[in-house]
Amino acid sequence: MSEHWLNRALLVLGLWLAVAVVAHIFGAHPSYGLLVLVLAAGAGTLMLLLDTSARAEGPVWTLPDENPVRPPGEDPHFAMLRRVVDGHLDARAVDDQLHRHLLAVVDERLLASHGVSRVADPARAERLMGPELTAFAHATDPYPRLDTARIAVLIDRIEAL
């Protein structure tokens, strides 16, 4: 037994002796075996708690910056579109994410460059969008899986708006 544990055992024994003497002075007749068990259990729990808390390291509050979602300076809209395209290409089932995001970019470009809304003036918007984007805009659920070449054609057409 190490000296550290021997000192603790002697401390519990001294505490037991003090409680027994005080109890005897006041006329109580405690069960000495039960008193030893209660003191040993309490002291053991306290010592384990103190040992654990003394060896525990404090929390580390650093932010992980190894893998940012996007590099500093990159356009957040471009980063979102890139994630949506990657998700479309990798997905097992095709959903409307790519369709919604590309049409939102089309709407922004039409409004910024020509002052046209697809909702307010669909005929003029379709003339400006061309046949590729018009067919894409009229697609309904279930949406077709687009390959990279088809996505590139659509993005080139959006950039030409």
Supply the pTM of this predicted model. Answer: 0.54
* 54: number of Cβ within 10 Å: 7
Task: Summarize pLDDT for 88-120 with one digit per residue, the tens.
Answer: 888 888 888 888 998 998 998 888 888 988 888
pLDDT confidence of residue 56: 65
85/101 Cα distance (integer angstroms): 9
Contacts of 118 (CB under 8 A, 6+ apart): 103, 106, 107, 110, 125, 129, 137
Residue 119 backbone dihedrals phi, psi, to 5 degrees: -80, -45
80/75 Cα distance (integer angstroms): 9
Q: Under DSSP, is residue 60 helix (H, G, I), strand (E, B) or coil? A: coil
Task: Tell me which amino acid residue 116 is.
Answer: V
